[in-house]
Amino acid sequence: MKWMDMDCKKVQRRFDDLAEGRLSEAVSRQLRRHLEECTDCRVQQQRTARLQQLLAIKRSERPAPEYFNDFLGEFHQRLQAEAATQPAWWQRWATSVSAEPTRTWRYAFAGALTVFVAFGAITSRVILSASHPAGGDASQMASVSSEPLFASAPLPASHSMPTMAVASVSPRPAEPSLAGGQVIIPAVAHDDVDEAGAPRYVLEKITDTPARYEVASIHF
Amino acid sequence: MTTLTKLSEKFGLGSPKREPNPVTPPVAPVNEQAADLEHEDDESLVARTRRGEQGAFDVLVQRYKERLYATVYHMTSNHEDANDLVQDSLIKAYKSIHSFKGQSSFYTWVYRIAVNRTINFIKRRKTRNHYSLDDVDSNIQSDPDFVELMSHVTPRREVGLGELQEKLNEALQKLSETHRAVVTMHDVQGMTHADIAKVMKCSEGTVRSRLFYARQQLQGILSEYL
């Protein structure tokens, strides 16, 4: 890269590094050659140096020499006063938050909020599906399960079906339903009928046979 | 006055005026212990503080109070606020010493606490514009850099040191909190980009960029002195 091709802004951001010798020889040479050719950057370099001289005056602003004499004493007094008035847990938490960079806590809060909202959404869906058992709106049940909702036509005993799909079908006979290797029977058998009279299906037992899903027929 | 007597007074040990500290009572022989601690490095003093030796933390306070004060003072341009913020920061550091993991030096850690507290304080205080400035050391008038600077400024107009000080502080207060922090740390305190990046938990590129924009703004405000 030729020295005049260098972006002036980038050159000007490197003035400190150049002055303090933190650049490689090659880069330093490029910068110097750019400064020889570029009047704007040269003027800017002089103004920066003068500003730094001006700011250096602030180094001489000092409190009176005896100012720090009782600094440690005051520190102990404040510590003592804080110990006497121990803040509540939430105040201590707020103090610890303010001692950390704000950005970190912003991310932590955003993350916690996301988890909270996601948990709330899942919980509300589960509650909603529990309040609308078999016989309810099939689409609600389908939204809980990612499994497809199959036809409500009675299935032959040889067919298997996902549990949630079975649960969404309205009143079933009392004989056990097949869901892969799982046997599901209506809760009627356990005298557990809800107000609407719709039976609730409960898991009776789990066999070791892996579930197999086959579509019997789909009606639109 | 012997060194031990001075240390004793510094640490408030054996002083008849000061009431005994109920947080951690000093253990005898305190004077010798304090003198020994002065020679220990930060790491070992932090370890002692964690074991409940407040005297060790006192040494750290004495070691860094002036540097912390200077940074906070230049950021706030207010003597009383600087004192309060440094005291609060050191108390916070003492109470949180168990959470200090040692990934950075103790000084960087406590410096970060002080700078963050000051930035938050300035954000809250935005509307207030009250200065309480320390005096400028008169020795500066014999400093070659200062003489050169004044020879450049005075041909344009008569400028007193007091006026320059006031204008400088006004100009700094016009910068954003983060820009003021980097200018203070670099151009006033003389810290390196790398150290500032550690304190502010950002990249060196970000420090350079902030310095660039802060200086551009300062040059605009202080143009008549440049």
Are the Cβ atoms of A57 and B219 closer than 8 angstroms? no
Is B13 contained in some domain?
Answer: no
Query: Each residue of A13-46: b (16+ CB within 10 Å) or e?
Result: bbbbbbeeeeeeeeeeebbeebbeebeebeebbe
Band of residue B81 on the pLDDT scale cut at 50, 70, 90: very high
pLDDT reported for residue B226: 81
pLDDT reported for residue B35: 72
Residue B179, CA distances (Å) to A136, A183, B44, B174, B182 in order: 62, 69, 34, 10, 5
A105 contact residues in B (CB cutoff 8 A): none
With 0-12 / 13-18 / 19 or more C-beta atoms within 10 angstroms meaning exposed / middle / buried, residue B188 is: buried
With 0-12 / 13-18 / 19 or more C-beta atoms within 10 angstroms meaning exposed / middle / buried, residue B2 is: exposed
CA–CA min distance B45, chain A (Å): 16
Is B143 contained in some domain?
Answer: no
Report the candidate in A203, A194, A131, A192 with the shortest Cα–Cα distance to residue A166.
A203
Q: What is the CATH number of the domain that holds B69?
A: 1.10.1740.10
pLDDT reported for residue B204: 94
Amino acid letter, residue A68? F
Are the Cβ atoms of B188 and A95 closer than 8 angstroms? no
A51 contact residues in B (CB cutoff 8 A): 187, 215, 218-219, 222, 226
Task: Give the closest of B11, B79, B140 to A72, CB-based.
Answer: B11
Within this chain, do residues B123 and B188 fall inside the same structural domain, yes or no? no
Are the Cβ atoms of A72 and B10 closer than 8 angstroms? yes
Is B118 contained in some domain?
Answer: yes
Is B17 contained in some domain?
Answer: no
pLDDT reported for residue A190: 47
- Mean pLDDT by runs of 10 across the 220 residues of chain A is 68 89 90 92 92 88 86 94 76 65 71 88 82 52 44 46 43 48 48 51 60 62
Q: Where are the domains of chain A?
A: 3-59, 138-206
Pick from A12, A15, A75 the residue to mutate for testing the B interface (most B CBs within 10 Å).
Answer: A75
Q: What is the largest CA-CA distance in chain B?
A: 64
Are the Cβ atoms of B135 and A47 closer than 8 angstroms? no
Distance CA B181, CA A29 (A): 31
Within this chain, do residues B35 and B126 fall inside the same structural domain, yes or no? yes
Encoded tokens for B219: 């040059």
Task: Give the closest of A48, A56, A68 to B145, CB-based.
Answer: A56
pLDDT reported for residue A73: 94
Within this chain, do residues B115 and B175 fall inside the same structural domain, yes or no? no
**Cβ contact B75:B181 at 8 Å:** yes
Is B67 contained in some domain?
Answer: yes
pLDDT reported for residue A211: 60
Are the Cβ atoms of A82 and B12 closer than 8 angstroms? no
Report the candidate in B24, B30, B90 with the shortest Cα–Cα distance to residue B60.
B90
Is B51 contained in some domain?
Answer: yes
Q: Which pLDDT tens digit goes with each residue over B155-170?
A: 555 667 788 888 999 9
Band of residue B53 on the pLDDT scale cut at 50, 70, 90: very high
Are the Cβ atoms of B187 and A52 closer than 8 angstroms? yes
Q: pLDDT: is B66 or B33 the higher one?
A: B66
Overall domain count for chain B? 2
**Cβ contact A95:B89 at 8 Å:** no
For residue B21, what are the contacts with CB-CB under 8 A and spacing of at least 6?
A76, A79, A80, B12, B54
DSSP string for B162-220: HHHHHHHHHHHHTS-HHHHHHHIIIIIT---HHHHHHHHTS-HHHHHHHHHHHHHHHHH
What are the helix and strand counts (H, E) for chain A? 9, 4
Encoded tokens for A192: 């557990």
Are the Cβ atoms of A63 and B187 closer than 8 angstroms? no
A53 contact residues in B (CB cutoff 8 A): 145-146, 148-149
Domain extent at residue B199:
161-226
For residue A217, what are the contacts with CB-CB under 8 A and spacing of at least 6?
A151, A153
Is B95 contained in some domain?
Answer: yes
**Cβ contact B118:A39 at 8 Å:** no
pLDDT(B145) > 80: no
For residue B22, what are the contacts with CB-CB under 8 A and spacing of at least 6?
A80, A83
Residue B143, CA distances (Å) to A56, B42, B146, B150 in order: 11, 33, 5, 11
Distance CA B26, CA B55 (A): 7
pLDDT reported for residue B212: 94
CA–CA min distance B194, chain A (Å): 11
Is B37 contained in some domain?
Answer: yes
Q: What is the CATH number of the domain that holds B220?
A: 1.10.10.10
pLDDT reported for residue B115: 96
Distance CA B181, CA B213 (A): 13
Fill in the DSSP letter of residue B94: H
Q: What is the pTM of this model?
A: 0.60
Within this chain, do residues B112 and B187 fall inside the same structural domain, yes or no? no
B-chain residue closest to A10, CA distance: B209
Least-confidence region, from A158-162, B16-20, B199-203: B16-20
What dihedral angle (degrees, nearest 10) is formed by the CA atoms of A192, A194, A196, A199?
A: -40
Quote ipTM for the complex.
Answer: 0.75
pLDDT reported for residue B28: 45
A100 contact residues in B (CB cutoff 8 A): 116
Are the Cβ atoms of B134 and A63 closer than 8 angstroms? yes
Q: Which pLDDT tens digit goes with each residue over B173-192?
A: 999 999 999 999 999 999 99
